[in-house]
Structure 1
Amino acid sequence: MSLITLTTDYGSKDHFVASLKGVLLKYNPSAKIVDISHQVNQYDTLTASYIVKSCYNDFPENTVHLIAVDSSTNSEEPHIAIFADRHFFICPNKGFITQVFRPDQIESIVYINAASEDYDSFQAKNILSKAAIHLSNGGAIDLLGNPVEHIFEIKTQKVYFDDAHNKLTGHFIYIDHYGNMVTNIKRIDFNARRKNRDFSIDFGKTSISRIYNSYDHFNREYKKTNDASGEVFALFNSSGFLEIGLYKSNPKTRGSASTLFGLNVFDLISVQFH
């Protein structure tokens, strides 16, 4: 049985997801299709890359991951197929894959050949689905097209360490369903720089000086003195990234880290070591 995952910016109102699934099952009836997310903001390649990067490795080897976010392009900029870390990825050449893998981690990457009329509309159905069907049926990736000559890369701010001032600076990259803010600072980078020193995490006008092991760890510690609901915390999430949140927050009612602190994606966050 082959496995295909879908990540799109189509939402759930229209027919696009159903139509895409229908085509996949029509030509590979034995395929199992798993929805990763269809709630990615329109054209938001960075969010799509974070979501897929956080979970693709939980799937079996040789899973085909179809990413249809900002998926319309033209024959001058064909879609691409990638094999990396024992998984296949099919997506537009708009920077997604460079946010998930370094170039040296990519084993194979090719353009996806398509007829000119396939670019007219619904390219995920006309082009990406055909590549997914081919790979999910055991087809070789190099039969899809020629090797890619240039991988488009999104220029994003990198994590920076200022040795002179013992300061690690990153930025927020994702807002989750609870309004918690995920940064691009990884646990491995934090641990390498900390060297058992005290620290403060600074964002906006707020500063905190402790990182908890988990949500429950924060709740247990805080309950010793008060109810933890609505209190700010920092932890490294299951994907290994530093996250700032409010315990049991709800963006629609009591608020969340993103709304109450006025935080947005690309805002700066720093860790000062003392």
Structure 2
Amino acid sequence: MAIITLTTDFGEKDHFVGAVKGAIYTEMEDAKIVDISHSISPFHLHEAAYIIQNAYKSFPPGSIHVIGVDSELNPENKHIAVLMDGHYFVCADNGIISMLTSEIRPEKIVEINIHDRIISNFPVLDVFVKVAGHIARGGTLEVIGKPISEIKELTGIRPVVNNNESQIIGNVIYIDNYGNVISNIGRKLFESVGKGREFLINARSEKFNKIHTHYSDAINFEQPPEKREEDGKRLALWNSSQFLELAIYKSNPTSVGGAASLFGLEFRDTITINFISEGVKG
């Protein structure tokens, strides 16, 4: 039996998550359900896209990923099922999947059309669970939907490179549980544009000229503990998803604060990387 994952903005207080799981078990008693997150900020498509993009790859091929964020059916918010990178995604056509399709071409996309057979005002519970069950039992996408070739695009998920490739302009797309700030600037783009040049990262009043690969790389462990600059250490790094992240070493947003609050950065705020040409450097 395929694994079914759940990513929603339902939270833990209400009955929604439990009801969806109950509906899955009613469909398939031997189902394997994994919660990716139910703490997406309400209707926050970029958060959902970032989390599912970085979680699904750890699951085996054939896994079915149900995404319950902004999923109410209306004329501008259709429901889709997507086969991509060997995984299935069931969600609304609201732009969430476009963050994945910017890197990987979908093998198949269908617009779900079983709504006339289901009375529902809770599509994740009724429609998405039915679709996930159909796929888990070996059913094809064409049975539950009509093939389509295009899906909605999320705006602000791709950074911009200026004409002479001296600058990358990105945005904050996610703030994690530690208050660390994740941008949409990927390492592959940075290396392709930068070509080994020196650089300066600007995020409001914060500036960085070095990008680490681990949080602890910013700490000089050759010094004795009492002389190290650890508390409040600011750093830029390539996170585990290979996106540029601005962080505070061992931050705690509930006490001393995290990078988001201390740097004054919020979702969609601008982060720029300026590359320094050889002529300017001297």
When residues 37 and 157 of structure 1 are mapped into structure 2, their CA distance, relative to the original with a 3 A threshold, is: closer
Conserved? CA contact 1:175–1:182, under 8 Å = yes
Shift, 1:97, TM fit = 1.0
The separation in 1 between residues aligned to 2:21 and 2:223, in whole angstroms, is: 47
For residues 130-145 of structure 1, the aligned pairs below 5 Å read 130-145=130-145
* 1:3 aligned residue: 3
The separation in 2 between residues aligned to 1:10 and 1:151, in whole angstroms, is: 24
TM-score, length-scaled by structure 2: 0.91
* 1:250 aligned residue: 252
2:42 counterpart of 1:42 = yes
* 2:231 aligned residue: 229
Where does the alignment leave 5 or more consecutive residues of structure 1 unmatched? none
For residues 1-274 of structure 1, the aligned pairs below 5 Å read 1-74=1-74, 77-102=77-102, 105-116=105-116, 118=118, 120-148=120-148, 150-156=150-156, 158-164=158-164, 166-220=166-220, 225-274=227-276
Aligned-pair identity (%): 37
Where does the alignment leave 5 or more consecutive residues of structure 2 unmatched? 277-282
Conserved? CA contact 2:237–2:245, under 8 Å = yes
When residues 22 and 258 of structure 1 are mapped into structure 2, their CA distance, relative to the original with a 3 A threshold, is: same
User: Which deviates more, 111-120 or 250-259?
Assistant: 111-120
Shift, 1:223, TM fit = 5.5
The separation in 2 between residues aligned to 1:59 and 1:189, in whole angstroms, is: 26
Conserved? CA contact 1:75–1:119, under 8 Å = no
TM-score, length-scaled by structure 1: 0.94
Name the SS for the 1:258 alignment partner.
helix
When residues 52 and 243 of structure 1 are mapped into structure 2, their CA distance, relative to the original with a 3 A threshold, is: same
User: Which deviates more, 74-83 or 262-271?
Assistant: 74-83
Structure 1 runs of 4+ aligned residues shifted over 6 Å read none
Conserved? CA contact 2:167–2:272, under 8 Å = yes
* 2:280 aligned residue: none
When residues 7 and 157 of structure 1 are mapped into structure 2, their CA distance, relative to the original with a 3 A threshold, is: closer
When residues 149 and 158 of structure 1 are mapped into structure 2, their CA distance, relative to the original with a 3 A threshold, is: closer
The separation in 2 between residues aligned to 1:55 and 1:243, in whole angstroms, is: 17
Q: How many residues align?
A: 274
RMSD between superposed Cα atoms in Å: 2.0
The separation in 1 between residues aligned to 2:159 and 2:42, in whole angstroms, is: 26
